[in-house]
Amino acid sequence: MEERHSLELKPIGIIHSPYKNAGAAPYQGYKTEEISQIEVFKEFEEGLKDIEGFSHIIVIYWFHKSQGYHLLVKTPWDDNLHGLFTTRSPHRPCPLGLTVVELVAREKNILKVKGLDAIDDTPLLDIKPYIPSIDERAFVKLGWLEGKLGKGRS
């Protein structure tokens, strides 16, 4: 049997958002104009050098309030069950969140961003620049979501 690897994740900061619980957070943050603050711990502040030149960043965080998961999930867009890994459900075996946000401003170790859907006090795991020539794809298939994204909660 193949050995499973354990890993240790160390937060590099904390997310401060207007959303105090999961029910208050938008289903998809890109549709909101709310400003959240990403506090990068002082020991990592130097790693933010030159980030102001990017309009968008990728934020990776830990769904710290997520408890349990199901491998089959019902979504707001469809009444059918779908495999967990074909959804964006926060309830996962390894509850990682990933969102592309607009970088509005930087004040030392604080990033002000628009479009984040994380709740207040969410642990920040990483930040990467969003680079269209690398991150965008020309021919994309949406699987079971084809034709459904305009329906239900978004």
The residues near 37 (Cβ < 8 Å, ≥ 6 apart) are 15, 16, 17, 110, 111, 112, 113
Q: What is the pLDDT of residue 153?
A: 46
Low-confidence ranges of the chain (pLDDT < 70): 1-2, 21-31, 150-154
Enumerate the β-bridge partners of residue 127.
59
Q: What is the pLDDT of residue 154?
A: 40
Enumerate the β-bridge partners of residue 14.
39, 123
The residues near 71 (Cβ < 8 Å, ≥ 6 apart) are 83, 84
Q: What is the pTM of this model?
A: 0.85
Amino acid in position 32: T
Q: Name the CATH topology of 13-65+94-131.
A: Elongation Factor Tu (Ef-tu); domain 3 (2.40.30)
Whole-angstrom Cα distance, residue 138 to residue 136? Answer: 7
Asked if residues 83 and 72 have their Cβ atoms less than 8 Å apart, the reply is yes
